[in-house]
Amino acid sequence: MDIRQDKEEQDRALLTFYGRDNVQWASPLHCKLQGDVATGSGVNRHMMSTVIFKLLSGFHINLGSVAITKIFEGEPDHQIPSVSEELLNSNMFTVAGRIIGHSFLHHGPSFPGLSPAIIHILFGGSEETTPVTVQDCPDLDIRDAVKMLDGEGDLREFDSIHQLCLSWNLPAPNAINRKWLSAKLLLHAVIKQTRRQVNQLRKGLQETGLWPLLIHRRDVIPILFPRESETQVTAQMILDCIIWPLSITVIFENYTVKQDDESEISDVYRVSGYLKTFIENASPAELKRLIKFWIGWEVPATEMKVEVIEAKLPTALTCFEKLRLPRHYAAYKMFHQDLCACISHNHSGFGCQ
């Protein structure tokens, strides 16, 4: 992918790659960022993180007269496939299945927040036992209709509910069938309208070769599709992984020298303390950005190294899972400002941060 291109061109490059047929998705992964000097496993991690993030937040392509196209929609832990015919005709849900399976095969981020009802249908569950809830319906008008039918209010004033029922080949609401009709409307909105999308998603997963594992080891499914709350990164999770520095590292052109005199050690302790303070007070979103800047994606590594060096701004060697912090900071405010600026611009440069 060429990071010198605009976001739309970058996203189209990703979708073109995952839109290809007859790919051996389990083959060794080698990613290259044109316009950036970075190489190695850190780039692979960066790309896997990027493509899963795009799947969650949307691609900068115009399908259906929108600037950002979202393949899934809804609230956290209740995401369902978009009902857009344009996305369906473009085979975008097959692409989504390939992305999710490919990331899993290469130890990348999982896809969090998918509705339990969609997961149930995806892996062969019946409609009758689908755990669908009103939170699974992203259309607020349909939600209101479902809630009205499930309540006790007078239906004669709500002609829109009548029209909705008729459009989905359901009987008109009345006092006798309203509870039954409420459940049918919800099932139709969440499951029946997304059947073809789920079939495409299943096809994409099958093409990655992951399907036999998912069918025979059902305990893997929650790892592939975790709840969004389970993917939150906490400060303690990061702190437990950090290998803190014991000395200043001075970097020359061809070699490095560690310095251990008393003044330099005080710099190490001070700057390390600033990082610890930042981590303990950062929001979950900031913690994810920090980890992505540090190692290439938002999943903490077993060992995440810190170096205090002679430099102007924080940098990262993602392939070595190493964060380099300048020693010159004498106040936390400036450290916080510079670190926030660096971790907020992953998209504009990878190897030269």
Residues 182 and 199 in one domain: no
Nearest of 321, 351, 179, 297 to residue 241 by alpha carbon: 321
Query: Are residues 139 and 259 both part of a single domain?
Result: no
Asked whether residue 21 falls in the same domain as residue 41, the answer is yes
At position 61, the amino acid (one-letter code) is I
Range of the domain at 69: 7-118+194-230
106 and 212 co-located in one domain: yes
Q: What was the pLDDT predicted at 78?
A: 95
67 and 179 part of one domain: no
Give whole-number Cα distances, 133 to 117, 140, 143, 181, 324, in Å.
Answer: 8, 13, 10, 14, 47
Does one domain contain both 162 and 282? Answer: no
Q: Tell me, yes or no, whether 53 and 141 share the same domain.
A: no
Contact predicate 233/291, CB 8 Å: yes
In a domain, 277, yes or no: yes
Do 210 and 331 lie in one domain? The reply is no
Closest to 177 (Cα-Cα) out of 168, 165, 167:
165
pLDDT at 331: 95
Q: Which amino acid is at 291?
A: I
What torsion, rounded to 10 degrees, do the Cα atoms 319, 320, 323, 326 define? -110
308, with CB counted inside 10 A (0-12, 13-18, 19+), is buried
Helix (H, G, I), strand (E, B) or coil at 305: strand
The answer to whether residue 205 is domain-embedded is: yes
Identify the pLDDT of residue 187.
Answer: 95
Claim to verify: residue 50 and residue 86 sit in the same structural domain: yes
Block residue for tokens 């926030």: 340
3-state secondary structure of 226: coil
Does the residue 353 lie in any domain? no
Give the Cα separation of 225 and 79 in Å (integer): 11
Q: Tell me if 288 is assigned to some domain.
A: yes
CA 248 – CA 68 distance, rounded (Å): 45
CA dihedral 148, 154, 157, 161 (to 10 degrees): 30
Name the nearest CA neighbour of 271 among 196, 335, 180, 190.
Answer: 335
| Consecutive H or E run containing 147 | helix 140-150
Q: Supply the pTM of this predicted model.
A: 0.74
Residue 27 is given by DSSP the state S
How confident is the model at residue 348, as a pLDDT? 46
* CATH code (residue 49): 3.90.1750
Residues 176 and 74 in one domain: no
**CATH no. for residue 256?**
3.30.2410.10
Q: Phi first, then psi: give them for residue 90, nearest 5 degrees.
A: -90, 5
Residue 83 and residue 14 in one domain: yes
Q: Which two tokens stand for residue 137?
A: 């319906």
- Residue 79, SS3 per DSSP: strand
Instruction: Tell me the pLDDT of the chain (353 aa) as tens digits.
Output: 888 888 889 999 999 999 999 999 999 988 888 887 777 777 888 888 889 988 988 998 877 666 788 999 999 899 999 999 999 999 999 999 999 999 999 988 899 999 999 999 999 999 999 999 999 999 999 998 898 888 877 766 667 888 888 889 988 888 888 899 999 999 999 999 999 999 999 999 999 999 999 999 999 999 999 998 777 778 888 998 899 987 666 554 444 545 555 667 888 899 999 999 999 999 888 998 899 899 887 778 888 999 998 899 999 988 788 999 999 999 999 999 999 999 987 554 444 44
**b/e sequence 201-210, b meaning 16+ C-beta within 10 Å:** bbebbbbbeb
Whose CA is closest to 244, among 222, 224, 270?
A: 270
The total of structural domains in the chain comes to: 3
* Burial class (CB within 10 angstroms; exposed 0-12, middle 13-18, buried 19+) of 141: exposed
Together in a domain, 28 and 85: yes
